[in-house]
Amino acid sequence: MATTTLDDFDLDDLDLDAIDLNRLDTDILSFLESEYPGDKIILPPATDVFAVANWFIEKADKERRALTLSRLQSLSYLAYGWFLVYSEGTPLFDADIIATPQDLIIPVLRRKFRECAGRFINKYAEVFQDDKEEVLRHSIQTSDKRELIESILEEVWDAYSRWSWTRLKLFIYRNKSPLGKICDISLELERFPFCVRLTPEILRGYFTALLEEYNYQAEYEESDGEDDEEDGEEDDEEIGEEPCEEGASGRADGIADTFRGCP
């Protein structure tokens, strides 16, 4: 019997309308829940996923940047994860995030922008209101958390939007991430294709750990820089020169600097 590999899994063959979110791969989901334990999240979402998508689309349009459906889903995923950390557990939106061994899917976004697959997105997510007989564009401005939402979206855009698609995907599938673990365990189980819903609890656990990892790295670099500065002062004193006044770089104040982790 031939062994199924990742190369045999064609994402285009995945029927999004046939996905039953109550019958996803429970074994892998249970594994992820054990890897990222946390309290149940019951808070209502801050906005809807189309408002987040429109923010990124408008940002790309203003900067004359090309935005593909895959990149839009990835940026929305990263915004969702970081928002969970900085909002103390409030989900950014209530749309499902589905992981496969090869890709990250937000089904409602993929359906909405299906005709943009394989090319750049050139439209906004809009809804027609019968009572007003007008087309309205989804916007984060209707949320009472719009300031925090816009801050996180701005930081995510600044941190990740200029990354190449390869670098962005490597970061999303890094070994310590839920998607990286999904890929590893699926290879061990030889289970293809499959889908796993990434719950808010899993993503909050991962992004909280990612923040701690970045903070630890920043503290290490700061202490290492201080050691280098002391060594430099000793060398200056030995040769009779004034010590260098430039200190070691401290921890970055901006959220975007925290987000910029190498894959």
Is 246 among the domain residues?
Answer: no
Q: Tell the residue number behind the tokens 């989901």, with chain if given.
A: 29
What was the pLDDT predicted at 39? 83
Cα–Cα distance list, 196 to 8, 33, 34, 106 (Å): 18, 11, 14, 12
Is 185 among the domain residues?
Answer: yes
Percentage of the chain beyond pLDDT 70 is 70
Is 59 among the domain residues?
Answer: yes
Is 247 among the domain residues?
Answer: no
- DSSP 8-state secondary structure symbol assigned to residue 45: P
Instruction: Decide the pairing of beta strands 196-197 and 134-137.
Output: unpaired
What was the pLDDT predicted at 5? 33
What was the pLDDT predicted at 227? 57
Cα–Cα distance list, 250 to 7, 193, 213, 217, 262 (Å): 44, 45, 16, 11, 18
Walk along the chain (263 residues) in steps of 10 and give the mean pLDDT of each run.
34 47 62 82 93 97 94 97 94 93 89 87 83 79 92 96 93 89 74 77 94 84 63 48 32 46 44
Is 145 among the domain residues?
Answer: yes
What was the pLDDT predicted at 234? 52
**Residues 6 or more apart whose Cβ sits within 8 Å of residue 235:** none
E strands along 19-141, which residues? 98-99, 104-105, 126-129, 134-137
**Residues 6 or more apart whose Cβ sits within 8 Å of residue 53:** 72, 76, 109, 112, 113, 125, 138
Range(s) of the domain holding residue 45: 22-214+253-259
Number of domains in the chain: 1
pTM attached to this predicted model: 0.77
What was the pLDDT predicted at 75? 97
Q: Between the CA atoms of 68, 74, 80 and 82, what dihedral angle is there, to the nearest 10 degrees?
A: -120
Q: Which of 234, 252, 253 is nearest to 244 (CA)?
A: 234
Is 103 among the domain residues?
Answer: yes
Is 182 among the domain residues?
Answer: yes
Query: How far apart are the C-alpha atoms of 250 and 159, rounded to whole Å?
Result: 19
Question: Which helix (H) or strand (E) segment is 150 a member of?
Answer: helix 146-160
Is 221 among the domain residues?
Answer: no
Q: Which of 89, 263, 70, 73 is nearest to 177 (CA)?
A: 263
Angle between helices 49-62 and 146-160 (to 10 degrees): 50
What was the pLDDT predicted at 231? 56
- Spell out the long-range contacts of 27-32 with Cβ–Cβ below 8 A and sequence spacing 24 or more: 27/189, 28/182, 28/185, 28/186, 28/189, 28/191, 28/194, 28/196, 29/196, 29/197, 29/199, 31/181, 31/185, 32/178, 32/181, 32/182, 32/196, 32/198, 32/202
Q: Tell the residue number behind the tokens 């249970």, with chain if given.
A: 30
